[in-house]
Amino acid sequence: MGKINENTRSEVKEIVYKFFSEECEVDVSTISENTNIITDLEGDSLMFLELIEIFKKKYSLNIELKTIAKYIIRHPVETIGQLVDTQMLMIEHENNLVNL
C-alpha cells in the first residue's frame, strides 16, 4: 500500500509498452490499450512473469506468485490495457490482491 502516486500509472504504462516493443520487435506507437498480447504481438505467458519481476524490484513489492496466479485465474489478462491495470493493482494491493 502507499506505493501509488499520480505518476505511477504512466510509469507502469511506459515500462510495459517499452518491454513489449523491445521483446516483440514492434514500434511502440503500434501498441495500445486494446492490443492483444498473444494474437497481435505474438507474446507469451513468460512475458507476464518477467514483468512481475521487474515491478517487484522497482516497487519493492511483497507479493507471492501464487497470489497473482489466483487473481489472474479469475481476471484473465489478454490485452495491454488489462496488463497495466493488473500491474497497478499488484502495486497497490500486493498480497491483498487475492481478496479483490
Partner 1 sequence: MNNRILITGLNMITSLGLDLESSWANIVAGKNGVKPISLIDTEGLQTRIAGQVPDSFEAYSAGFVKKRMADQTTRVTKMCYVCAREAVRKSLIEFDNFDRQRCAVVLGVVNTANNSAEKGTTSKNRILKGMNNAMSAWISLEYKLLGPNFTVTSACASSAYAIGIGYDMIRSGAFDIVITGGADSLINREDIEGFNELYALSVNNDPGKASAPFSADRDGFVIGEGAGIMILESEKSALRRNAKVYAELAGYSLTSEGYNIMAPMKDGEGICHTIMSALKNSAVKPEEVDYINAHGTSTMLNDLYETMAIKKVFGERAYRIPVSSTKSMIGHTVGAAGVIEGIVTVMSIADGVIPPTINLKKNDQELDLDYVPNVARRMDVNCAISNSFAFGGHNATLVFKKYM
Site size with partner 1, rule: CB under 8 A: 9
DSSP state of 79: B
Residue with cell 495491454: 80
Nearest residue (CB) to partner 1, 31 versus 47: 47
Query: Interacting stretch for partner 1, rule CB under 8 A, among 22-30, 58-66, 72-80, 89-97?
Result: 22-30
If one asks whether residue 27 binds partner 1 (CB under 8 A), the answer comes out as no
Q: Determine, following the binding rule CB under 8 A, whether residue 44 of this chain makes contact with partner 1.
A: yes
Q: Which is nearer to partner 1, 43 or 61 (CB)?
A: 43
**For residue 75, what is the DSSP state?**
S
Handedness of CA 72, 49, 52, 34 (dihedral sign): negative
Q: How far is CA 60 from CA 28, 51, 54, in A?
A: 27, 13, 10
Residues that bind partner 1 (CB under 8 A): 22-25, 42-44, 46-47
